[in-house]
Amino acid sequence: MPTVRKEDGAARPFLKWAGGKSQLLPAFSGCFPAELGRGGVRRYVEPFVGSGAVWLAVAQQYPGVELVIGDLNPALMATYRALQEDVEAVVAPLEAWQAAYWAADEAGRKALFYEVREAFNAGLARGDESAAQAARFVFLNRTGFNGLFRVNAAGRFNVPPGRYRRPRIADAPNLRRVAAVLRRTRIVAGDYRQMDRWIGPGTFVYCDPPYRPLSRTASFTAYIPEGFDDDAQRRLAAACRAWADAGAWVMVSNADPRNTDPDDRFFETIYPGFWFARVSARRSINARPDRRGPVRELVITSYPPPGVEAVRVFTPR
Ligand SMILES: C[S@@+](CC[C@H](N)C(=O)[O-])C[C@H]1O[C@@H](n2cnc3c(N)ncnc32)[C@H](O)[C@@H]1O
């Protein structure tokens, strides 16, 4: 499993995304099923793909594996589709905006941001899935505050402009590499339950659902209008059990609740019979710098993970 670095010519995530997994790739590689390296995995399915760090890494390390990705965020899925169909049509406006943004003063940058945001919201309202709309999505992600994606009750994207000196808005070589991976990837937009038909024997499923908040005040789930509360985590656990029973290798990650409460057994209770490993991560999206330090991430697998220490947990329901 490679560490995907900026210099090495590998496709890497082009979006900033809450819960992005780039920094966890080295630790995660020890959690992938051993069969992945032995040709036993035919298909990789990632139902909560976000910016896709794990999907891109698996795709490039195991080029023979069939790929299926999904996410509930329709604007994100439309962006992947647009890149799959015509990457140059997405790159061209991004290059123009990057030049304009870099040349502008602060007022000019704000004006450009609001102009693109307005056009993006008009596009959201009419269900625009064009390359131009995809370019707006990428521009807003690269120049908006903390790379957040947030819509208000009326469905309008309302993130304010961020402050960046020379943001990389148009990384054309990387977008082309991502597009090449997308051309061999099936995109299934919507809720994770739509993935059932792609999951069975020979499938490796990786789920990275929105985090269960580490404390009552932390609210990562607030960025997703639908939220992902404890009941939603339970429903996902039941789906994972069903996928494992159908013959798939299932891996799920989440923030480790024991970062803040050493006695928390929530996940142990909802994933009986699964293996539990704890690996280290560094958070990058958090408004408070003091919360960006290393925290442990919980990795739950339906099989014994080959490269990390794990315990199998049987907790009576
Ligand atoms: C923690 S993020 C995934 C981050 C990703 N691993 C990365 O490296 O960027 C969770 C993702 O789940 C998506 N999501 C939320 N609820 C969902 C659902 N019911 N079905 C599918 N995707 C969902 C969100 O839109 C978000 O992109």
pLDDT of 282 reads 61
| 191 C-beta closer than 6 A to ligand 1 | yes
| Amino acid identity at 80 | Y
Q: Are 277 and 299 in contact (CB under 8 A)?
A: yes
Report which protein residue has its CA nearest ligand 1's atom 12. Answer: 48
Mutate to test the pocket of ligand 1, among 48, 54, 187 (most ligand atoms within 8 A of CB): 48
| 297 C-beta closer than 6 A to ligand 1 | no
| 47 C-beta closer than 6 A to ligand 1 | yes
Question: Which residues are CB-contacts of 237 (< 8 A; sequence separation ≥ 6)?
Answer: 252, 267, 270, 271
Strands (E), 5-121: 43-46, 66-69
CB atoms within 10 A of CB 104: 14
What is the pTM assigned to this prediction?
0.91
Distance CA 291, CA 306 (A): 31
| 17 C-beta closer than 6 A to ligand 1 | yes
Distance CA 13, CA 200 (A): 27
pLDDT of 304 reads 97
pLDDT of 189 reads 85
Between the alpha carbon of residue 212 and those of residues 152, 163, 273, 294, the distances in Å are 21, 29, 21, 17
What's the farthest any 2 CA atoms get from each other in the chain? Answer: 62
Report which protein residue has its CA nearest ligand 1's atom 26. Answer: 50
pLDDT of 8 reads 66
Torsion of CA 156, 90, 126, 186, to 10 degrees: -100
Domains assigned to the chain: 22-72+190-312 (3.40.50.150), 78-170 (1.10.1020.10)
Residues of the chain with pLDDT under 50: 1-5, 218-225
